[in-house]
């Protein structure tokens, strides 16, 4: 299981990729969306790592369930 710092490092590297992809929206727009989703996944997992009730999820369904159960939309607004 990756630690919070590993998830944050991956999210930061992924952001650098997004910045590069933004230079060519015509050819890269689908990849920007996919890459942004991947970054968001790592941000959520970094938050989960410090939550003793969750710490890690294995799939999208489990992740969505934990978000709905433990985090209000207003609490996550900082990430947007």
Tens-place pLDDT, residues 27-72: 999 999 999 999 999 999 998 898 888 888 889 899 888 888 887 7
Structure tokens of 24?
Answer: 């060519």
**How far, CA to CA in Å, does 26 sit from each of 36, 37, 38?**
17, 19, 20
N residues, the chain: 80
Mean pLDDT of 12-30: 94
Domain borders along the chain are 4-79
pTM over 0.85: no
> If pLDDT is split at 50, 70 and 90, which confidence band does 76 have?
low
Q: Is the pLDDT of residue 22 over 90?
A: yes
């Amino acid at each position: 299981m990756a630690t919070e710092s590993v998830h944050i490092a991956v999210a930061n590297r992924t952001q650098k990729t997004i910045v590069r992809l933004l230079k060519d929206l015509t050819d890269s727009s689908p990849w920007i969306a996919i890459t942004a989703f991947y970054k968001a996944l790592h941000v959520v997992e970094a938050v989960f790592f410090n939550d003793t009730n969750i710490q890690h999820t294995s799939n999208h369904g489990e992740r969505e369930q934990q978000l709905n159960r433990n985090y209000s939309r207003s609490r996550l607004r900082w990430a947007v």
